[in-house]
Structure 1
Amino acid sequence: MKRTIVMMLAAGLIVASCGEKKETKATEPVTTETNVETETTEVTEVETPNIVGVAVGNENFSTLVAAVKAAELVDTLSGDGPFTVFAPTNDAFGKLPEGTIDTLLKPESKATLTGILTYHVVAGKFMAADVVEAIKANNGSFTADTVQGEKITLMLDGENVVIKDAKGGTSVIIMTDVAASNGVIHAIDTVIMPK
């Protein structure tokens, strides 16, 4: 657009000068000054936050963030990864029996809480399409090792991806492919439990 404006100004000057006759002495230098105002736009590169940063920035994960802090997993989940996190929402934590969250957040429950949280993490970055492809390629269910050490099984229920935990409980992935600099988050509707 700026180039077009400059070309239009130059064309206007040429047309205007064609109709006028000016006398100049050979000893006087002829100069043409064009003051063109230019705009500069500063481009700021925005870096995608890591998994913890994404969770902190989303009010639906406030209970998860409190649990990650209580388990002292902030540094781990802020590491290079990549990780795939099946992140329980606040509503998912709300389905636990009354008093469970308060008990898990106590310092004496740190080992149990760490086990539960790392059970929601798989090493590697698996987008929703990757998960669905793995399920279909493995006759309708795909087993993945969690960072905690036990397995989860992913299956399709119609259009939904369902996670079956070690105790036989299930959770539905309700939001997929939330990008983070060190992996991806898929939100789930129920906390999954190791043995």
Structure 2
Amino acid sequence: MSNNFQSLLENRRTIYSIGKNVKHSTEALTEIIENAIIHSPSSFNSQSSRAVLLFGQEHEAFWKVVFEKLKEFLRDEEAEARTQAKIASFAAGVGTVLFFEDMDVVKMMQDQFPAYADNFPVWSEHSTAMAQLATWTALAEQGVGASLQHYNPIIDDQVHAKWEIPSNWKLRAQLVLGSIEAPAGEKSFIDNAVRFKVFK
């Protein structure tokens, strides 16, 4: 059994080889991304997800920030060269979406619903994950390649300072996007019997 939604999910792949040959304008990409995040679900409709969209020089500046921070952890020239090549592959794209969660919203929900207080930080993670998947899938549907990266929390201070991000926004992931310059690799799946239990 197949349907359009299933096909969209299957089409969303991690694309590491990206470029700047995207047919969409920055405005069109922004609309796709914003729409995906706006319509992503959140617990109690808390709408805790936030995003910073970086294009052009701002996108490239972000990956320079990442590399400069990573250099503090590299022990030799070989590791630095490998890391620089990896970061350059991300900078080769057209943009990066920084996904945040507004922790003030999480705290507000905890105060309003104390019986569920311990769950709201977890549900916040669910919210950002769904926003990330929705955005990634929406871009893939438009033929835009992307990969999800996680250089937080080591870059948090630098990102907050450079782009004047509110302190209550917690960085959760970075989705780098661009034209698909090479297809995704083969993907394997564990056996369904390991993953699922079905009772009838």
> TM-score range, shorter-chain basis?
under 0.3
Question: Whose strand proportion is higher, 1 or 2?
Answer: 1
Question: Whose helix proportion is higher, 1 or 2?
Answer: 2
What TM-score do the two structures reach when normalised by structure 1?
A: 0.25
- Structure number with the bigger relative contact order (C-alpha 8 A, sep ≥ 6) is 2
